[in-house]
Structure 1
Amino acid sequence: CIMDKPPSSSPIISSPILPLTIIPLQPSTLTISVSTPLERLQNNEKPEKLYKKEKQILLEFDLIVKDIRYQLNEQLKCLEQRLETQLSIVSDIQDYFKRRAEVELDYAKNLDNLYKQTYQRHKAQKARRETWVLHSVYKLWDNIVQDTRTHVKYHTVMSDICGKYMSDKFNEIADDTRRMFGKCKSVGQASHDEIFKVLNELQSTMKTYHQYQSESKQAEQKLRQIQQQMTKLKSVKKQKSMEKRVEKRQMKYTETKVKAFKARNDYLLTIESVNAALTKYCTDDVPDLIDVKKI
């Protein structure tokens, strides 16, 4: 249907920043003034002023599109920055476990040397220590020595875990992080392409709309001129001759007016499509980009 009073508001797209590295588009509707030149002409606005307003509308639309493109590009940059940060953290953890493996291995070697030295000394002094077994404190000494041997095995295994297993595990985590980034970027780019597609459609319908509005305005002006000329004629014969011209002008005006109305409706529908695409992106896609577990 054709709206009698088209919506008129300034196009405002704000860009709040979420704390989770994604800069979202605000899911507010894209609104552009679609009042026709004829409607404003009926309000006694001068043609020069109308032209400036039409030009301003197109300029505002370009600014909106540039702002949307900027925000979408910034979001992809945020994804890349998040990947770099995550990989940096994973790399730091890997470095920690690598050093931990070296420390555990050195500690195991030192404990093993301590155990061997203690055992060799006890063996060398066996004759002097024959009576040690008669004392209860000997059991404490023996438990300490055997416990040292157990700790040698424990820290050797711990060194292997930190050096090999943890390194392989965090390599897997890094690969998974890159894979999730690839999926996030793919989802983001697909959504961006859809938004750019409807924006291009909107730009096309806007140009068509303004073209037909201009033609309709010119046809109306010519119709009014010939109607004014007809009212000044006093001869009936000339009036009848002029009626044919008026009829042709009327048909031309009606034709251009219908085209203008159709273009206007297409324009409004395309604005709704753009708003729907932006809303879907903000409510569905952006949360998925933030919470990669859903992807």
Structure 2
Amino acid sequence: EIRAQLIEQQKCLEQQTEMRVQLLQDLQDFFRKKSEIEMEYSRNLEKLAERFMAKTRSTKDHQQYKKDQNLLSPVNCWYLLLNQVRRESKDHATLSDIYLNNVIMRFMQISEDSTRMFKKSKEIAFQLHEDLMKVLNELYTVMKTYHMYHAESISAESKLKEAEKQEEKQIGRSGDPVFHIRLEERHQRRSSVKKIEKMKEKRQAKYSENKLKSIKARNEYLLTLEATNASVFKYYIHDLSDLIDCCDLGYHASLNRALRTYLSAEYNLETSRHEGLDIIENAVDSLEPRSDKQRFMEMYPTAFCPPMKFEFQSHMGDEVCQVTAQQPVQAELMLRYQQLQSRLATLKIENEEVKKTTEATLQTIQDMVTIEDYDVSECFQHSRSTESVKSTVSETYLSKPSIAKRRANQQETEQFYFMKFREYLEGSNLITKLQAKHDLLQRTLGEGHRAEYMTTRPPNLPPKPQKHRKPRPRSQYSAKLFNGDLESFIKDSGQVIPLVVESCIRFINLYGLQHQGIFRVSGSQVEVNDIKNSFERGENPLADDQSNHDINSVAGVLKLYFRGLENPVFPKERFNDLISCI
């Protein structure tokens, strides 16, 4: 089902590109024809508008427009252009030359750029699809391995029970009176009992071995399951959106420039048409890839809707659906957790650098495609003769050496951007999978640590020794500072403002106002506990003017204090009123 959905996504993106190319082709044909008939004024212009309007009435965009007046911004501009043509009553050779030698060339370049962008995005999409299918195949393989080992474990368990029954039966026979049994028969019975005992020991060892394999396979299955769900979620929520952005890269901005060229010529030619052209300008201003991307995805909900998360498939009565962190796999999981933590730290630093490079390159491309070179007002400052306009237009846009150089630089920058974008996606995909495994192991190992103090331990595991906990620091006040009532503490201590609040805010004002991530980045838990314990003893660990404490830890203490109050500073019954005021 996911493979079919991936194919459908590719078809949708390809169809979108074909629609863009066709739209650009229509725009080129439109302006070329308009250039030819410009001197025939209103009558021929009306025929032209009707011709293209009739052509678009059968398209899906037109049906969508009639249904809810909601179009992609380039298509909306196209509709408004056709309506504007009906209002045109006169024009000049200057406008005809601009259409032929400037606007149409821009649309041709946009068409080439759109096709090139789609091909490059298609390559990345194909790689992402292959990676996603590899992840799914890996999940299927791990699931099959788990099922196989679990089946072997069940089989070994049944054989062990059979051996135990045989042993009990043989022991029962051995308990019969032996005074009438010959010596030879006694030796045979003893030999039989020993054989059964050896067989039982072998089957016991086989069962333990298969049980351990089953547990490890199940753990691997659960980890892979978590990583697969994380990868699929990331692809549908983030990567797919980024791929659509890649297909749109420069399209809206370039179309914006081409249409603004048209607008500049029209405004300088005839100010009486400003009212109609203002409507088109508003539509051009609305050329925005994000909203178009949202509309595009809403047009094909079945193609871009993320699938349901994969659920754990139990096998032959195995109801354990969590990673097992008990002996003998606890040490192995702890080592794996530490390895994942170390690798994630390295990968995140590397991927963050790639991300910064990608963003900087993207900004460079955006600067290239958003250059404001669409103003052609200087073409109308000279003679109105056709020869003068031709030379001016040629020098303005098409024949400048800087244009070819700029386009070459743009393509080179695009190549570097796609290389870095691919590298960033690959790195973030790996981080997503490893982070999912890391988080699941962290939760599992944390729960296993807390389970030491529970009474519902499995009967086959020996009890863990109790750990001696350090006594909590005694407060000099009868009312609790942390996790207590604010009014009670103020009455008991005589402090108008609790010392912890006043001291932490003072410290943050001195050293934290320019700190990035204040109240968002967590501080050291050890330092947070030390500062908290000092305040509970009535001390002020932040009294000195030296910034020898981590600012994130101080902010963490302040958050911990307000979070633990029995009665919040802003009462719950007034919470909605407060939000409405904000």
TM-score, scaled to structure 2: 0.30
User: Is 1:190 aligned to residue 127 of structure 2?
Assistant: yes
- Please list, as runs of the form range in 1=range in 2, the aligned pairs for 1:210-225 lying within 5 A after superposition: 210-225=147-162
Unaligned runs of 5+ in 2: 42-89, 175-188, 250-361, 363-417, 419-582
Output one character per residue of 1:90-124: Cα deviation in whole Å (capped at 9) or x when no partner: 111111101111012556xxxxxxxxxxxxxxxxx
2:112, 2:195 → 1: CA distance? 84
1:71, 1:158 → 2: CA distance? 47
User: Is 1:83 aligned to residue 17 of structure 2?
Assistant: yes
2:238, 2:25 → 1: CA distance? 32
Helix, strand or coil for the counterpart of 1:223? helix
Could you tell me which residue of structure 2 aligns to residue 103 of structure 1?
37
Counterpart residue type for residue 279 of structure 1: F
Could you tell me which residue of structure 2 aligns to residue 201 of structure 1?
138
Larger Rg: 1
Counterpart residue type for residue 255 of structure 1: E
Could you tell me which residue of structure 2 aligns to residue 285 of structure 1?
239
2:237, 2:124 → 1: CA distance? 14
Could you tell me which residue of structure 2 aligns to residue 40 of structure 1?
none
Which deviates the most, 246-255 or 261-270? Answer: 261-270
Q: Is the 8 A contact 1:209 1:260 kept in 2?
A: yes
How far apart are 1:184 and its partner, in Å? 2.6
CA RMSD of the aligned region, Å?
2.1
Counterpart residue type for residue 92 of structure 1: D
Could you tell me which residue of structure 2 aligns to residue 173 of structure 1?
110
2:9, 2:37 → 1: CA distance? 42
Helix, strand or coil for the counterpart of 1:85? helix
2:147, 2:132 → 1: CA distance? 22
User: Where does structure 1 differ by over 2 angstroms across 4 or more consecutive aligned residues?
Assistant: 104-107, 236-241, 289-295
Could you tell me which residue of structure 1 aligns to residue 168 of structure 2?
231
User: Is 1:251 aligned to residue 208 of structure 2?
Assistant: no
Unaligned runs of 5+ in 1: 1-66, 108-151
1:173, 1:195 → 2: CA distance? 32
Q: Is the 8 A contact 1:198 1:274 kept in 2?
A: yes
User: Is 1:157 aligned to residue 111 of structure 2?
Assistant: no
How far apart are 1:183 and its partner, in Å? 3.1
Could you tell me which residue of structure 1 aligns to residue 7 of structure 2?
73
Q: Which protein is richer in helix relative to its size?
A: 1
Output one character per residue of 1:59-104: Cα deviation in whole Å (capped at 9) or x when no partner: xxxxxxxx11011110000001101111111111111101111012
Helix, strand or coil for the counterpart of 1:264? helix
- Please list, as runs of the form range in 1=range in 2, the aligned pairs for 1:35-54 lying within 5 A after superposition: none
TM-score, scaled to structure 1: 0.58
Greater relative contact order (Cα 8 A, min sep 6): structure 1 or 2? Answer: 1
Could you tell me which residue of structure 1 aligns to residue 316 of structure 2?
none
Change in Cα spacing, 1:160 to 1:105, as seen in structure 2 (3 Å) is: farther
Counterpart residue type for residue 249 of structure 1: R
Q: Is the 8 A contact 1:187 1:285 kept in 2?
A: no
Change in Cα spacing, 1:258 to 1:206, as seen in structure 2 (3 Å) is: same
Output one character per residue of 1:175-205: Cα deviation in whole Å (capped at 9) or x when no partner: 1111221233233222211111111111221
Counterpart residue type for residue 208 of structure 2: T
Query: How many pairs were matched up?
Result: 184
Counterpart residue type for residue 104 of structure 2: S
Q: Percent identity?
A: 45
Counterpart residue type for residue 196 of structure 2: M
